[in-house]
Structure 1
Amino acid sequence: MKIRTSKFYAGLFALAYATSPALAHPPIAERAVADEKAAFEADRADILAMAGNFKVRFDMQESTRWDASYTPIDKKISGGNEVVRVIEDSGRKIVLQHMLVINADGKDMIIKHWRQDWEYEPAKVLVYADRHQWKWEDVPERMRRGRWSQTVWQVDDSPRYGGWGQFEEQGGVRRWRSNWTWRPLARRDAVRNPVYDRYLAINRHQTSPDGWIHWQDNLKMGPKDGKLSPVVQEYVLNSYTKFDGYNVKAADDYWAATKAYWAAVRSTWDKIATTKGGIGIQEEAETGTIISARLLEMADDIVSGKMKQDKAIAEATKLITDNTKVIG
């Protein structure tokens, strides 16, 4: 399916969004100050526990088909070594940066991976709105108490999806559960040009004695007969197991060399989101945003000494500014 933006697809999205469930739980009742503080600190501890050195297993399975004409694809399992670092912690906001460490032909390579921002009792969240655009969505005031938003960003720090939810304990297991969130196709799906073109999903994060897991329940949706319809259900379990038997230092060295550059990139995306009412940028199935490859290349050039940091920041700022549009 050719990726494009149109009034037709915008209408389909609006219809699905209006009819999809938005609230995962009822409002959290007022608690004593001591209980509120204890819950807040427990939430923070669970978020911060996602930082560390891990071996990661990505387990993806299309299971239940909702469209009788669709044949689910085979189960896919992949993995790697991933370093997760806390790059910001202001109390009510925590930012975690993921970096993959890959050994190719005896040489360790770093791939800047996804980023997750956690914010306590947010007033609004940047969410996926339609292909190539993300917009601000207000969190209902009555649903903010005691809850955290999670915003996930792509390898070039452009947005991917956002949602909000609460930490809860059931059966002795503590987890964070999101509301229903819209998400664009992952690269693994987008490159196949499937009949579905987005996900309606619930995300869960929970710590374990060995690390933590990210559990996704993805309903893959696509246009059919003038409306968005479910095609197939997918279950994804990403397991992060504590492990440091690889070149962790390579990731830390990469971040030390590029963190100022990436801070400037994040700041530019944030400014665009604020001034343009969200973020609109063209994406391609193979690469993500059309500027992703260049933003990552410049970070590598900073590490190798081929490019000065100030020059890279100036070019990155211009690339982001020139390739984004106002969200109306």
Structure 2
Amino acid sequence: MTKQTKMSKRAVIIAAALLIGAPVAAANAQAPVAATVSTQAPATAFERDRQAILAQAGQYRVHFDMRENVSFHADYDPMEEKLSGGSEIVRVVYDHGDRISLQHILVMAHGDQTVVIKHWRQDWVYQPQTVLTYTGPNQWSLTPVPEIERAGAWSQTVWQTDDSPRYGGVGHWTYENGLSAWTSNPTWRPLARRDAVRNPVYDRYLGTNRHILKPNGWVHIQDNMKMDGRNGSTPVAIVQEDVINTYDTSTSYTPKPGDDYWAATQAYWAGIRDAWDAVITRDGGVHVEEAPETGVVTGIPLMELAQKIQDGEITTEAALTEGRAIIALATTKD
């Protein structure tokens, strides 16, 4: 098999795996010893929030439940419920006190081999002055957060597999009724891959996020209003969707393939994050073409460079040179 054929097959696997509606299977192996979690009470409200965010790191079986519930358009019938699952590890990229980053990595069985896919990333910032929001199509902008709204609040910015942006929001952690929960303000979002590849009658979501801890993991709940704002028109509601992604702590598979991938590529991805951040700082946001299969056009080439690093086909420095050039070309406005 030629290298070109190998990379083409890899691209197909990446694109297929990123369609969250598709079922994925855990890689079976002897279970590792579970990590110990501190039960010491936090000293401050700020530290309590930090511990809630960091509690999302771990090793999980994930169950995806996506349901279109109510149509608000006479000619649109809600799709049937989609259920799927997979195995995913969540690792702390950095913890700078008031800034925390968590990286999700899928560890999946694909035939007789284990396939590792760098998945989404969530960054948390305490009392942020700005948040990167989707203002599309193809556009994300740094949006000021009013002082009254950022007091005691955390922003969460979600990034795609290639560390390009997806959406951002601001909210507070609360601890009422026995629940540790964070709820975002409503935010605009680009279509998820599961919808974008179908060329639907809507082109964006207005969504609200909730992250809630539970005894054996956590749950990510999204309330999405799917909207049609094509041709620059005022967006109108088409259908409402609930997405419930449940992360259950699991030791039924080994995380080693995912951790090996991250150890080999994390320096590359740190440089790619810096490249995206430089564009966002320079332009007050970023303009990059969306792509149905991979989020944006940089998705597969940046992911393939990381795989080449792990396979020993290219150095981190050489991959970063190519990666920065890919980002520069994709974010250059005509």
Shorter chain as normaliser: what TM range? 0.7 to 0.9
For residues 118-267 of structure 1, what are the structure 2 equivalents within 5 Å? 118-223=124-229, 226-267=233-274
CA distance in 2, matches of 1:228, 1:207: 33
- The amino acid across from 2:251 in the alignment is D
Shift of 1:145: 1.0
SS at match of 2:201: coil
Does residue 319 (structure 1) correspond to residue 326 (structure 2)? The answer is: yes
User: Could you state the TM-score of these two structures normalised by the residue count of structure 2?
Assistant: 0.85
Counterpart of 1:287 (choices 294, 304, 325) is 294
Alpha-carbon contact 2:127-2:155 (below 8 Å) kept: yes
Q: Which residue of 2 aligns with 1:42?
A: 48
RMSD across aligned positions (CA): 1.5
| CA 202–309 in structure 1, closer or farther in 2 if over 3 Å, else same | same
Q: Which residue of 2 aligns with 1:310?
A: 317
SS at match of 1:50: coil
- The amino acid across from 1:307 in the alignment is I
| CA 84–224 in structure 1, closer or farther in 2 if over 3 Å, else same | closer
Shift of 1:151: 0.1
User: Any idea what the Cα deviations from partners look like across 1:21-78, whole Å, max 9, x if unmatched?
Assistant: xxxxxxxxxxxxxxx9611111111100000000000100000111121111110011
User: Any idea what the Cα deviations from partners look like across 1:101-138, whole Å, max 9, x if unmatched?
Assistant: 01112211100000000000000001001111100100
CA distance in 1, matches of 2:121, 2:272: 13
Unaligned runs of 5+ in 2: 1-41
Shift of 1:270: 0.3
4+ runs deviating over 6 angstroms: none
- The amino acid across from 2:225 in the alignment is L
CA distance in 2, matches of 1:152, 1:307: 28
Alpha-carbon contact 2:203-2:230 (below 8 Å) kept: no
Q: Which residue of 1 aligns with 2:94?
A: 88
CA distance in 2, matches of 1:37, 1:153: 31
Does residue 68 (structure 1) correspond to residue 68 (structure 2)? The answer is: no
Shift of 1:247: 2.5
Q: Which residue of 2 aligns with 1:5?
A: none
Q: Which residue of 1 aligns with 2:12?
A: none
Q: Which residue of 2 aligns with 1:11?
A: none
Unaligned runs of 5+ in 1: 1-35
CA distance in 2, matches of 1:306, 1:45: 39
Q: Which residue of 1 aligns with 2:18?
A: none
Percent sequence identity is: 49
User: Could you state the TM-score of these two structures normalised by the residue count of structure 1?
Assistant: 0.87
SS at match of 1:166: strand
SS at match of 1:170: coil
SS at match of 1:126: strand
User: Any idea what the Cα deviations from partners look like across 1:188-225, whole Å, max 9, x if unmatched?
Assistant: 00011111110001100011001000000000001489
Alpha-carbon contact 1:278-1:326 (below 8 Å) kept: no
SS at match of 1:286: coil
Counterpart of 2:282 (choices 271, 275, 282) is 275
Counterpart of 1:105 (choices 97, 103, 111) is 111
Alpha-carbon contact 2:159-2:166 (below 8 Å) kept: yes
Shift of 1:173: 1.3
